[in-house]
Every structure is written in structure tokens, then in C-alpha cells.
């Protein structure tokens, strides 16, 4: 009697990994196909460089290649002059977190908050699109990185399948 091919359970395209220290299950950081991995890597490199340069210009006291000094811009937007250091530090910290797959979601989430604040600031101050486009673009890209590297919820079927994400070790 011919045997039919075995059907496996539907495979989630985002394999799970378990953090050794926290025990949380996270999705794979990089999409499956090679061109998607390359595109995602290029996006990450661009964002790390972009936010690092942007953060460093916020620390610079004079005019930058982005225009007037950020100390003047922040005061013009209604923030205290020192707030540029808070935003710049947050951008630099988040850009560093984007490098590590383990902390990539946290870095992207921080950048979502910072760039959402930038978008709202530009809206409130009625800045023209050419001055605020970068904030909108960075918000969308930060959301994309956060969506791709988001934590995967724990699923009981992982335990039933015996996947690496669902296995627990017994002390013995």
C-alpha cells in the first residue's frame, strides 16, 4: 500500500529562539530569503549611521550641515536648550541597540517614541514638509524594524511540537 507523504504542522515562518537570561521567546530577527536579509541589513546599517550622525549633531554647539544649531532649533520648538542632549543620548543609545539582534526591538521601540515626538513637534509648529520629512521617514522605518524584530508571544503549540522554544530542562 503506498504511503502518503507525512504532513507536518503548519510551520511559522518566524522560528522562535529563547533568551537564556530572560526566558522570553523572540521571533527570528531577519526575514527568510537572502534578498530580504540583505535589504533588512542595509536598512539597519542606514538607520544606525543616520541616528548616530543625528545624535552627534545634537551635541555639537554650532551650526551643522542640517542647518542652524540644534540648541536654537529646540528653543524655537518650545523645548529647553538642554533637551537636545536627552534626545541625542536616546538616539545614540537606541542606534547602539539596533546592532544587537537581542536588543534590536528595544532600540527600535525607543526610536519610535523619539521619532513620534519629532513628528508631533513638527506638526505642532507647522513646519513645512521639507523640514519634517526626515522625522516622518524615520518613524516609518523605526516601525518597520520594530515589527520585524518584535518579540514572539509564547504559544502552547511550541511545547506540543517539542521545539527549542518550548523545551524546558529539568534539574536533576
Tens-place pLDDT, residues 3-32: 544 444 444 444 444 444 444 444 445 557
Distances in Å between the Cα of 72 and the Cα atoms of 116, 122, 150 are 21, 15, 36
Q: Taking the model in full, what pTM does it have?
A: 0.71
Q: What is the pLDDT of residue 151?
A: 86
Q: Where are the domains of the chain?
A: 34-152
115-165 residue pLDDT tens: 999 999 999 999 999 889 999 999 999 999 999 999 877 666 666 766 554
* Predicted local confidence at residue 63, as pLDDT: 85
Query: What Rg, from alpha-carbon coordinates, does the chain have?
Result: 21
Cell of 141: 522605518
Q: What is the pLDDT of residues 21-76, one digit of tens each?
A: 444 444 445 557 899 899 999 999 999 999 999 999 999 888 888 788 898 999 99
Report pLDDT for 16: 47
Q: For every residue of 53-99, which 3-state class applies, written as one string?
A: HHHHHHHCCCCECCECCHHHHHHHCCCCCCHHHHHHHHHHHHHHHHH
Rounded CA separation 91/41 (Å)? 19
Amino acid at each position: 500500500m503506498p504511503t502518503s507523504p507525512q504532513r507536518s504542522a503548519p510551520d511559522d515562518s518566524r522560528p522562535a529562539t529563547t533568551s537564556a537570561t530572560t526566558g522570553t521567546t523572540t521571533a527570528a530577527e531577519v526575514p527568510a530569503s537572502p534578498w530580504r536579509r540583505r535589504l533588512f541589513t542595509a536598512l539597519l546599517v542606514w538607520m544606525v549611521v543616520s541616528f548616530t550622525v543625528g545624535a552627534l549633531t545634537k551635541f555639537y554647539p554650532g551650526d551643522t550641515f542640517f542647518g542652524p544649531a540644534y540648541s536654537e532649533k529646540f528653543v524655537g520648538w518650545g523645548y529647553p536648550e538642554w533637551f537636545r542632549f536627552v534626545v541625542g543620548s536616546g538616539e545614540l543609545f537606541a542606534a547602539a541597540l539596533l546592532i544587537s539582534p537581542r536588543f534590536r526591538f528595544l532600540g527600535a521601540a525607543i526610536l519610535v517614541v523619539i521619532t513620534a515626538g519629532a513628528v508631533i513637534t513638527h506638526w505642532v509648529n507647522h513646519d513645512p514638509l521639507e523640514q519634517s520629512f526626515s522625522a516622518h521617514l524615520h518613524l516609518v522605518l523605526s516601525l518597520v524594524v520594530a515589527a520585524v524584530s518584535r518579540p514572539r508571544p509564547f504559544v502552547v503549540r511550541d511545547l506540543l511540537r517539542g521545539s527549542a522554544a518550548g523545551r524546558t530542562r529539568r534539574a536533576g
